Amino acid sequence: MTHEVVVRASVAPMHAEARVSSVQVSQRLAGHLVRVLETEGDWLRVRGEDEYEGWMHRGYVVATRDDQTKQARRRLSLGCVVRGAAGVRALPLGAWLAGDDAIVSGEAVEADGRADAFPREASAICATAVNRFVGTPYQWGGISPWGADCSGLVQTAFWLHGVAVPRDAWQQAEAGHDAGTVVPTFQPADLLFFSDRTDRRITHVGIALGRSRMVHLALGRGGYAVEQLDASGDEYVTALMSRFVSARRVL
């Protein structure tokens, strides 16, 4: 019988296998619910709200309470430090505060004010990706400004604005509809897909900003970067565009 638990750690890694040394495939943040599908000792195979599955150690989660599941009463971290029953802790952008958390520094938004803070608009999504992820280091499987991969940036930026997209880049490439391959025609918040494989399976994604620009998290840049995609004198951009496959429009 499956059941739900809530993440209590600021960031809880999801692993490919039921061992701490296995690769991190994704993360869940504090206050988010996951569904337990299977147990193996102290390890849980869980599924997040995005339907993505992985193994999580039970130390990262606790049983749910009514106040943790009532969306309207919750507060969403914009990056803050809080003091509560668990002591003082930092919470990344996208985590949910516990009901008794008091903000020490930083900001949070009430759940019922989230749509005003993060409107479902292309320009607002681009602003979130550019401004709230600036300086983010590249981390495989990461989903927050504390460390994220390319598809983690995309998923979190869109999720904050109420737009659900899948977790991995190759899955995101199946969302929305075709936006073509001509760089100057891409609209803000279009998703741009790249591949470094001979079979052209998608391995990288960025968010178009308009005027031939793109924001992404790239291993080759060490993390966050805004690219001018028609910058012919930039060797990195030239190599990147040689791997460009297509664009998708999800709004």
First to last CA, the chain: 37
- Please say if the pLDDT value at position 230 is more than 70: yes
Question: What is the SS3 assignment for the chain?
Answer: CCEEEEECCCEEEEECCCCCCCCEEEEEECCCEEEEEEEECCEEEEECCCCCEEEEEHHHEEECCHHHHCHHHCEEEEEEEEEECCEEEEECCCCECCCCCEEEEEEEEEHHHHHHHCCCCHHHHHHHHHHHCCCCEECCCCEECCEECHHHHHHHHHHHCCCCCCCCHHHHCCCCEECCCCHHHCCCCCEEEECCCCCCCCCEEEEEEECCEEEEEEHHHCEEEEEECCCCCCHHHHHHHCCEEEEEECC
Cβ-proximal residues to 230 (8 Å cutoff; 6+ apart), any chain: 183, 184, 212
Structural domains of the chain in order of their starting residue, each with its CATH number? 3-64 (2.30.30.40), 73-111 (no CATH), 122-249 (3.90.1720.10)
The pLDDT of residue 17: 98
Predicted pLDDT at 69:
55
CA distance 172 to 70: 29
Instruction: With beta carbons less than 8 A apart as the criterion, state whether 175 and 211 touch.
Output: no
Average pLDDT over residues 44-71: 87
Band of pLDDT at residue 47, cut at 50, 70 and 90? very high
Q: For 128-183, how does the pLDDT look when each residue is reduced to its tens digit (9 = 90+)?
A: 999 999 999 999 999 999 999 999 999 999 999 999 999 999 999 999 999 999 99
Residue 68: its pLDDT value, please? Answer: 54
Q: What is the pLDDT of residue 64?
A: 87
**SS3 of 166-223:** CCCHHHHCCCCEECCCCHHHCCCCCEEEECCCCCCCCCEEEEEEECCEEEEEEHHHCE
pLDDT top residue among 5 and 86: 5
> Is pLDDT above 70 for 224?
yes
How does residue 67 score in pLDDT terms, banded at 50, 70 and 90?
Answer: low
pTM more than 0.85: yes
The band of 73, judged by pLDDT with boundaries at 50, 70 and 90, is: confident
Q: What is the mean pLDDT of residues 86-95?
A: 96
Cβ within 8 Å of residue 74, ≥6 positions away: 31, 68, 96, 97, 99, 110, 111
Q: How confident is the model at residue 86 (pLDDT cuts 50, 70, 90)?
A: confident
pLDDT of residue 71 exceeding 60, the answer is: no
pLDDT class for 45, splitting at 50, 70, 90?
Answer: very high
Q: Do the beta carbons of residue 6 and residue 38 sit within 8 Å?
A: no
pLDDT above 80 for 65:
no
